[in-house]
A and B are shown apart, each in its own frame.
Chain A
Amino acid sequence: MTLSEIANGKLAPRTGIKLENISKSYGNHVVIDDVSLDVEPGTVTALIGPSGAGKSTFLRCINLLERPDSGTIRVAGHTIEPGKVINAKDLAALRSTVGMVFQSFNLFPHMSALKNISFPQQKVLGRSKEEADERALQLLERVGLKDKANQHPGRCSGGQQQRIAIARALALDPSIMLFDEPTSALDPEVGLEVLAVMRELADDGMTMIVVTHEMQFARDVSDTLVVMADCKIIEQGDPKAIMSDPQEARTRRFLRAVLER
């Protein structure tokens, strides 16, 4: 079975997401300036750009961890306008459709790996403990960590923790996965284990939006490359095309900096 088949039980309908005119500022400080992004079902979008460009904030706007000041989010038949009051039903639908993986893993340190993955299923989806545990074990096995089921996160390496975090998000059957610099806190070698799991997910057809500095991953795995700078999307399109022939001077400068490192 593939990762997403395990995650979804049966294959869930693939979902895309449309973000229209998203803006966000803290006081007078603009962080996202009228950004729109259309993500097709089953595609991988890599979001790159210099730090401070607003990539992570934009990603966090997608599942409303940050509340945009204005704009529209269309996902799975729901239309959410964050500038207005969001009803609980829409928020729940959004969060259940969209899974997220963080740079700092954010596993629950007082729970075993198994419980980290099993507990949200029971509370959010109302699954029985047996069902949730079984699903958790399947996912742990798939990310190569079945033997860590009863360990607490503190006893796992960073790469292992991140793979557990991916399993935790997948266990809730998301149709879209957000990754916020998932390998930035990891040693390069350890990051590879995490990237391997992500490649597999992408191969399975999971819709993914990945904020990353891993240029090779962005080039080889993503279908769309989005370059953000100064709170806006400055360029987007085929990753290989942009990397070999960037149209914008700002993109060129950024790519030179990361590729010639």
Chain B
Amino acid sequence: MNWLIEWAAYLPQLMSGLGVSLMIAGVSILAGYPLGLVLSVMVGAKNLAVRTLGLAVVEIGRGAPALVILYLFYYGLPKFGIAFESITAACLALSWNAAAYSSEIMRAGLQSVARGQHEASAALGLSWSHTFFRVIMPQGMRSAIPGLMGVAIQMFQGTSLAYAIAVPELMKSAYNIGSQDFNYLQIFTLAGICYAAISMPATWITVYFEKRMARHA
């Protein structure tokens, strides 16, 4: 009973943190997915320089832990006179992360489109952009949807890393509340419930989409 009363008292403070977390996740998805699409095309490009650049961005984004990239943006770049607010640094680092992961999923989706679709488009005389945006992408993205939703969930949970550079997101709010009267157990449990309250329904929706796709494949 005590916990419930405490939770009710903490919740308003925690909600502002959750808002920041959702904002960072939203920005990194909105910026990361289009960038991921560009990267997925670059990685498949014939031009070696374009392909190498695309691969480098993707491999660093996937290979380096998000926390390392976060630190590089926040603590590293000021060395070159580029300083970001903590929240901006978090958005940039997670956008890179989202772009790198989503690009691989999109590339797999685009590659799954039958060769005949490219050939029919070429035979009809459709331009590259009409072929890509009107024929290939709508089909490739369909199979990429579940994977991309997975990345979105991952990004939302990844926002907790921004705690490390003092972004006032959900974890940071929880920590601040906990440090006031040392009720860490209660507050972090509540924070966990907040993450789960978003992630779990999102996962269910993803599974639903996966099943639907499997049925219509």
Question: Chain B interface mostly helix, strand, loop or mixed?
Answer: helix
Q: Is B119 an interface residue (CB 8 A)?
A: yes
Q: A120-B126, A168-B124 are in contact. Are A102 and B116 (CB under 8 A)?
A: yes
Considering residues A65, A123, A168, A172, which has the most beta carbons from chain B within 10 angstroms of its beta carbon? A123
CB pair A100 B123 closer than 8 Å: yes
For residue A108, CB closer than 8 A to chain B, the reply is yes
If the complex has contacts A110-B138, A110-B139, A123-B130, are A96 and B117 also in contact, measured as CB distance less than 8 A?
Answer: no
Cα of A102 to Cα of B120 in the assembled complex, Å: 8
| Known contacts A65-B119, A102-B116; is-contact A96 B125 (Cβ 8 Å) | yes
Assess the B125–A92 pair: CB atoms within 8 A.
yes
**Chain B positions within 8 Å of A109 at CB level:** 139
Question: B211 contacts the other chain (Cβ, under 8 Å)?
Answer: no
Q: Are A95 and B125 in contact (CB under 8 A)?
A: yes
**Inter-subunit contact A95/B122 (CB<8 Å):** yes
- B127 CB–A CB distance under 8 Å: yes
Q: How many residues of B contact A (CB 8 A)?
A: 17
Cβ contacts B148-190/A at 8 Å (1 or 0 each):
0000000000000000000000000000000000000000000
Other-chain contact of A172, B124, B130, B138 (Cβ < 8 Å) = B124
- Quick check: is A119 within 8 A (CB to CB) of the other chain? yes
The answer, among B123, B130, B135, B139, for a CB contact under 8 Å with A99, is: B123
Given A110-B138, A110-B139, CB of A123 within 8 Å of CB of B126: yes
User: Min CB distance, B109 to chain A, in Å?
Assistant: 13
Nearest chain-B residue to A91 (Cβ)?
A: B125
Q: Are B135 and A108 in contact (CB under 8 A)?
A: yes
- A108 to B135 alpha-carbon distance, docked (Å): 7
| B116 & A106 in contact (Cβ 8 Å cutoff) | yes
Question: What separation, in Å, do the CA atoms of A98 and B123 have in the docked complex?
Answer: 8
What CA separation (Å) do A202 and B124 show in the bound complex? 21
Answer whether residue A249 sits at the interface, using C-beta atoms and an 8 A cutoff.
no
- Distance of A26 Cα from B1 Cα, bound (Å): 76
Pick the contact of A124: B114, B125, B138 (CB < 8 A).
B125
- Set of chain B residues within 8 Å of A105, measured between Cβ atoms: 116
Name A40-74 residues within 8 Å CB distance of B: 63, 65
Contact present for B125 and A172 (CB under 8 Å): yes
- With A and B bound together, what is the CA distance between A119 and B126 in angstroms? 10
**A123 CA / B130 CA spacing, docked (Å):** 8
A114 to nearest B CB, angstroms? 15
Which residues of B from 9 to 55 have beta carbons under 8 Å from A? none
Q: Is A65 in contact with B126, judged by CB distance below 8 angstroms?
A: no
A-B contact pairs, 22 of them (CB 8 A): A63-B123, A65-B119, A92-B125, A95-B123, A95-B125, A96-B125, A98-B123, A100-B120, A102-B120, A102-B123, A106-B114, A106-B119, A106-B120, A107-B120, A108-B135, A110-B138, A110-B139, A119-B134, A120-B126, A123-B134, A124-B125, A172-B125
Could you list 14 further interchain pairs (A-B, Cβ under 8 angstroms) beyond the known A120-B126, A172-B124? A65-B123, A95-B123, A95-B124, A96-B125, A100-B120, A102-B120, A102-B123, A105-B116, A106-B116, A106-B117, A106-B120, A110-B142, A124-B125, A124-B126
